[in-house]
Amino acid sequence: MTSVEIGLWVSGGMLVLVVLGMRVAFAAGTAGLVGLIWIFWDKKDYAWEQFGWALTVAVKTAGQVPHSKLASQELSLIPTFILIGYLAYYAGLTQALFEAAKRWVGWLPGGMAVATVFATAGFAAVSGASVATSAVFARIAIPEMLKVGYDKRFAAGVVAAGGTLASLIPPSAILVIYAIIVEQNVGKLLLAGFIPGAFSALVYGGLIVGLAMVMPKFGPPLGGFSWKERFRSLPPAFPIFFVVFIIIFFIYNPFGGDPWGTPTEGGALGAAVVFVMALMKGMSWAQLKDALLETAKLATMIFTIIWGVLVYVRFLGFADLPGAFSDWIAGLEHSPLLTLVMILLAYAVLGMFMDAIGMLLLTLPVVYPAVMALNGGEDVLAADSAFGMSGDMCAIWFGILVVKMAEFCLITPPIGLNCFVVAGVRDDISVQEVFQGVTPFFLADAVTIALLVSFPQIVLWLPSLV
């Protein structure tokens, strides 16, 4: 049996484990270890006296992976970005941001829901976790929407969908993970997420206004705010944008020359600034403890998934499955753009059964080389490429596309994590009702993805300036 055939059998077995309910981290780690044993034993013609040798080599190979990769400095970005979000919540910055958005856009049809989307987008700029964003606004925004007569399913759907914006808008934990897996510049990828993230928020807002105009029960407009009250709501929300400005200013140095620090240092600086703000707002020891514990839980979950998947990735390298898949994709007679669309549709289906981070970690080692081969390779120039962009720009563009697909997967049944989080926070709303509420946002995401594919400069304009 060839190594590629072993890779296919083991990958199929891993997907079966995931469908049966095993956590992605353990399914991937188990599959990777079994695959390594199989490959090493296959080299010895399955002689029983060599099984012990194959087992020993496989365990040593798998055991070297987690520490060597998880010790990467870039991964320390993840807990700092998550901590920024929780500290901002306890500092009262989230409530201030929502109040400002409510006063400025509440007069629109569906204005409270639009304000929720814009507030989640603002909060996403200081929180790298979609789950944390959904949990925070389920407590803040849903009661306000129900109070003015919103349908509870739609109110829950708005929060679940709005929470997905944290996947694109920097600082984004998923973008950091993508950059590490495909070995691309973290700073450029984070910068590339700004315009698509803001664009997604505008599309969501437009969808809500359209629905509210056709079906007023979805979202009555909110009036009664004077211009004085609107301007008075801005200063309490400014600290959010101040933190974002500090992080971006520190990482990209708009005055030219070398950046003042790495993205990791920028994230740590942002967390320190928000911590001081929270203390000034009177954050208690119990609140600080909760913020640290929630950050540790979420970061540990992410690191555990990475740990298990990296063992599987090491096995894929020995099986040469990424190379075989790349050759197959590059040899298809369909146009590269049609092949890319089929890959994105496959992500949409796969996301129904897997969490977003696990899905990207499991597929990128195989799919990313294939997409780069479609474009003409890592070092191809824009003039010679299939998608009209250089290799490094293609990597950034594809990264934003797959992260947007990961956003889509956060609200698709039956696994949509954001929907479970909202239902968990709100005992009066079932997870089935949350899934019903997010249904209109599937159309908005489809429109956004289509435009990002058709007009790559939406993604590439900002990183091309760096």
Domain assignment present for residue 135? The answer is yes
Structural domain contains residue 84: yes
Residue 53 lies inside a defined structural domain of this protein: no
Coil, strand or helix at 255: coil
pLDDT digits (tens, 9 = 90+) for 391-416: 889 999 999 999 999 888 888 887 78
In a domain, 251, yes or no: yes
Convert the pLDDT of each residue in 302-317 to its tens digit: 788 778 878 888 888 7
Q: Give the tens place of pLDDT for each residue, 39-48.
A: 888 888 778 8
Whether 408 and 447 have beta carbons less than 8 Å apart is answered as no
Distance CA 411, CA 407 (A): 7
> Are 335 and 395 contacting, i.e. CB atoms less than 8 angstroms apart?
no
Is the residue at 269 inside a domain?
Answer: yes
Q: Which domain holds residue 222?
A: 74-298
Is 128 inside a domain boundary?
A: yes
pLDDT on residue 437? 92
CA distance 30 to 24: 10
- Report residue 26 as tokens: 């353990």
- The answer as to whether 397 is a domain residue is no
Count of domains in the chain?
A: 1
pLDDT at 330: 67
203, part of any domain:
yes
Q: Cα Rg for the chain, rounded, in angstroms?
A: 23
Would you state the pLDDT for residue 376? 83
Ranges of the chain whose pLDDT falls below 50:
none
pLDDT tens sequence across 328-340: 776 777 788 888 9
Q: For residue range 212-241, list pLDDT tens digits in order.
A: 888 877 777 877 788 888 899 888 888 888
Residue 436: the pLDDT is: 92
Contact 130/414 with Cβ under 8 angstroms?
Answer: no
